[in-house]
Homo-oligomer: A and B are copies of this chain.
Amino acid sequence: MTRKEQKEERRQAILMTALSLFVEKGYYDTKITDIAAAVPMSTGLMFHYFESKEELLLELVKMGAEGTRSLSAGVPAKQLEKIPADVFLTGFLTKVFAYAKEEPWVFNMFVLMGQVRRSGMPEEAHKTALAVDSIEFTSALISRGQKDGIFREGDATLLARCFWASVQGIMEEMAMDKSMPAPDPSWIVAMLKV
């Protein structure tokens, strides 16, 4: 393995460690020394891999933003049209909740992105974290569901925002208490149904 790959791998390790800690204790309560100790490596070495604590966060947020984008972009329009909107959303939530156990990474990222968006984090991080994409995507999906008569009437964008805000809230609750079982996804989708 080349040196660059080594370094890249180490960077990833740091990122993942930081991600867990940020979600667990919050960005500000996580000290550089905490991350270093958890990796583990010396505090000084952290700055060989990342310019600053904030750059570390920014990097995570960038990854998160890409993930979110690919999430909505990743669904081929033709497939999508065939699936009823409620079935699609339920399926999606099922996947996300399943990750909570098996791929804590994706799950934690979800929680981090929400925390960043809701501020209490350095300004710079914000600009990258706008989850406009997924709101637009879901909003369109909801509109279709409304036309099909399976979703309730009302401003589709507002419904989408509330839907995601609920998901976010529940995921944060789960992140806080690892022993909490995931809810049945249909409970949440019920918010939208007639």
A28 touches B28 (CB 8 A): yes
The residue on B at minimum CB distance from A172 is: B118
Contact of A120 among B120, B154, B169, B190 (CB under 8 A): B120
Judge whether A52 is part of the interface by a CB distance below 8 angstroms: no
Judge whether A144 is part of the interface by a CB distance below 8 angstroms: no
Judge whether A38 is part of the interface by a CB distance below 8 angstroms: no
Contact of A158 among B154, B166, B183 (CB under 8 A): B183
B162 touches A183 (CB 8 A): yes
A173 touches B187 (CB 8 A): no
Q: Which of A115-162 contact B (CB under 8 A)?
A: 115, 117-122, 152, 154-155, 158-159, 161-162
Stretch at the interface among A19-27, A54-62, A78-86: A19-27
Contacts of A25 in B (CB 8 A): 119-120
The residue on B at minimum CB distance from A184 is: B154
The docked-state distance in angstroms from the alpha carbon of A26 to that of B26 is 12
Judge whether A89 is part of the interface by a CB distance below 8 angstroms: no
B170 touches A162 (CB 8 A): yes
Q: Which of A121, A180, A181, A183 lies at the interface centre, i.e. has the most chain B CB atoms within 10 A of its CB?
A: A183
The docked-state distance in angstroms from the alpha carbon of A187 to that of B176 is 25
The docked-state distance in angstroms from the alpha carbon of A181 to that of B158 is 8
B176 touches A119 (CB 8 A): yes
B176 touches A158 (CB 8 A): no
Judge whether A39 is part of the interface by a CB distance below 8 angstroms: no
The residue on B at minimum CB distance from A122 is: B29
Would you mind naming 28 contact pairs between A and B with Cβ atoms under 8 Å apart? A24-B119, A26-B119, A27-B28, A29-B119, A117-B176, A118-B175, A118-B176, A119-B176, A120-B120, A152-B187, A152-B190, A154-B184, A158-B183, A159-B183, A161-B173, A162-B183, A162-B187, A166-B166, A166-B169, A166-B170, A167-B169, A168-B169, A169-B169, A169-B170, A169-B172, A188-B191, A190-B190, A190-B193
